[in-house]
Amino acid sequence: MESIILSSGTEVTPEDIQKIASAVNDLLLTTSKDPGQYEEADSLQGISSLPVFRQSGSAYDLVRVAISLLRGVDGKQIVLQVTADYIQWRYEDGMWQNLIPLADLKRPATEAAADVRERMDAIVSEVNALKTQFENDVRHALERADAATEKANTAAENAKSVSDHPGYIGDDFHVYTWDYATGTYIKTDRILKPEAFTIYRVYKSISAMEADKSNVPEGKFVIINTGSVEEEDTGKLYLRTSTGYDYIVDVSGMRGFTGKTPQFSIGTITAGTYPSVSLSDGGTDASGNPVYRMNFVLQRGPRGFSPKISIGKVTTGLPGTAAQATITEKGETEEGVPLAELDLTIPQGQDGSVVGVYKTREIDHVPGVNDVTYEEGGETKSYPIGGEVYLRESPGDVTFYKLHDIVEGKAIWEESSGAALPGNVYLTGANYYNESVTIIDKGILS
């Protein structure tokens, strides 16, 4: 240390400086208090600042720091306390940490300020690190939220695109579905060709049906007609499958259709949240039978599975009422194929009339080449090829003749058979409780 020359010219030696410093220190000690002599605060209520040293170049100023500046980035408040050896700090729910040794407060001001500055720098560094981590966490959370929002918006747009473009059946009977990725309809392998609901074949027994299954295409309906309404199997309806037959329903106890027979075809098929089916009027066919279209709303399932629909309950409604159809979910197969059951309510048709039916006629002579026409109701009608007439040779004994062909206006008749006339024969359909009955009385259709 060198001597100091004052402005008055007085020289202050290093020894003099040491004495002055010692005197100043003694003076400070007489007026200062030990930290333990101050009142201890157990909360920050009412405390707004903390005295600290601030460095400006090589100089230090004693200033107050607002307690709010020491609040953590997560909003936690800092708590201070004084122990026998340290001033300590912590977050509200954190562990106590030493801030300043009390012994350091008794050092020279420059030394104490430097120590306080070093510790404050460490605290500020820790706070800044926490702030940076918090900002990074917030930024990453916002990025993830933006990504999730974008995915949700994309999914909503795709769903709306599919909803705005329902599937349909093309002219080639293939099902077309909307592909939101390409914005076009895609032709699927699924074919839904509308066909009328008809009975393909009638068998006299279940064994006969099983024996002939190789001649029945898959998807066709067959029915058992034993010839007696007392037989249990009479009226049972079966559906031909890829492996055999599925029993559908026993229709022997229901009223059958009279007159016109409703025909069914596939209408529209759309995707929806819940499966349903409705019937719409499709006019009539060439024979005057009413035609109904079955419109399906099918629940969208995993791509590649087509729902398997079976016939459930078939009910006859009152004449003139609307036809109804309902579809009920029945779970799924082990492979995940959806199962559904179709229930139908079909209105009873009005009584019809038999048109264009030739009745076997009695003739008073053996038919010849000129017997091409006959008179009925004042009209001249032509005998149909295959039509029969009979000649009563004696009571109860007749000879039948069948028209084999007509060549150049000449009839070719052949004797068919000769036997006693049968009694009454009742002709009925698959439903034996039908009130509409046709009777053959003594060989003539009445």
Q: What is the DSSP string of 341-387?
A: EEEEEEEPPPP----SPPPPEEESS---TTTTEEEETTEEEEPPTT-
Local confidence band at 294 (pLDDT 50, 70, 90 cut-offs): confident
Q: Using the structure block, give the residue that is written with the tokens 């179709």.
A: 342
| Weakest-pLDDT range from 161-165, 300-304, 397-401, 431-435 | 431-435
Answer yes or no: is pLDDT of 77 > 50.
yes
pLDDT, residue 297, reads: 75
Strand partners, 237: 223, 249
* Most confident listed range (66-75, 177-186, 323-332): 177-186
| C-alpha dist (Å) from residue 142 to 132, 135, 405 | 15, 10, 92
Contacts of 192 (CB under 8 A, 6+ apart): 169, 173, 175, 266, 269
* 446 in Cβ contact with 438 (< 8 Å): yes
Q: Is 21 helix (H, G, I), strand (E, B) or coil?
A: helix
The tens digit of pLDDT for each residue in 50-68 reads 777 777 887 777 778 777 6
* 31 in Cβ contact with 66 (< 8 Å): no
Question: What tokens appear for 235 in the block?
Answer: 């009226």
**Nearest in space to 124 (alpha carbons), one of 170, 78, 58, 177:** 78
The tens digit of pLDDT for each residue in 145-168 reads 788 788 877 877 887 887 788 888
CA distance 281 to 106: 104
Residue spans of beta strands (DSSP E) within 67-195: 78-82, 86-91, 97-101, 168-169, 174-179, 184-191
Local confidence band at 169 (pLDDT 50, 70, 90 cut-offs): confident
The tens digit of pLDDT for each residue in 348-399 reads 766 554 455 667 888 888 899 999 899 888 889 888 988 888 888 776 677 8
Answer yes or no: is pLDDT of 407 > 90.
no
Across the range 403-426, mean pLDDT stands at: 70
Local confidence band at 70 (pLDDT 50, 70, 90 cut-offs): low
pLDDT, residue 207, reads: 94
The tally of CA atoms less than 13 A away on the side-chain side of residue 310 is 17
| Weakest-pLDDT range from 120-129, 180-189, 300-309, 317-326 | 300-309
CA distance 306 to 174: 13
Across the range 233-251, mean pLDDT stands at: 86
* 443 in Cβ contact with 421 (< 8 Å): yes
* 42 in Cβ contact with 83 (< 8 Å): no
Across the range 218-234, mean pLDDT stands at: 86
Contacts of 145 (CB under 8 A, 6+ apart): none
Percent of the chain having pLDDT more than 70? 77
Q: Using the structure block, give the residue that is written with the tokens 């055999």.
A: 244
pLDDT, residue 33, reads: 65
The tens digit of pLDDT for each residue in 191-200 reads 666 555 678 8
Q: What does the mean pLDDT of the chain come to?
A: 76
Across the range 82-89, mean pLDDT stands at: 86
Local confidence band at 210 (pLDDT 50, 70, 90 cut-offs): very high
Across the range 408-431, mean pLDDT stands at: 61
pLDDT, residue 206, reads: 94
What is the widest separation between alpha-carbon atoms in the chain? 178
What is the helix (H) or strand (E) element at residue 44, kind and residue range?
none
Question: What tokens appear for 270 in the block?
Answer: 């759309």
Question: What tokens appear for 349 in the block?
Answer: 């048709």
**Nearest in space to 271 (alpha carbons), one of 299, 302, 305:** 299
Which pTM does this prediction carry? 0.22
Across the range 204-223, mean pLDDT stands at: 91
Domain edges within the chain: 1-32, 35-132, 191-347, 361-445
| C-alpha dist (Å) from residue 85 to 27, 35, 50, 88, 105 | 24, 10, 19, 9, 11
437 versus 416: the higher-pLDDT residue is: 416
* Class of residue 253 by CB neighbours under 10 A (exposed 0-12, middle 13-18, buried 19+): exposed
| Weakest-pLDDT range from 39-43, 139-143, 255-259 | 255-259
Question: What tokens appear for 415 in the block?
Answer: 């004797």
* 176 in Cβ contact with 170 (< 8 Å): yes
Residue spans of beta strands (DSSP E) within 69-141: 78-82, 86-91, 97-101
Count the Cβ atoms, other than its own, within 10 Å of residue 100: 19
What is the length of the chain?
A: 446
Count the Cβ atoms, other than its own, within 10 Å of residue 79: 19
| C-alpha dist (Å) from residue 178 to 103, 113, 302 | 81, 76, 15
Local confidence band at 42 (pLDDT 50, 70, 90 cut-offs): confident
103 versus 285: the higher-pLDDT residue is: 285
Count the Cβ atoms, other than its own, within 10 Å of residue 87: 19
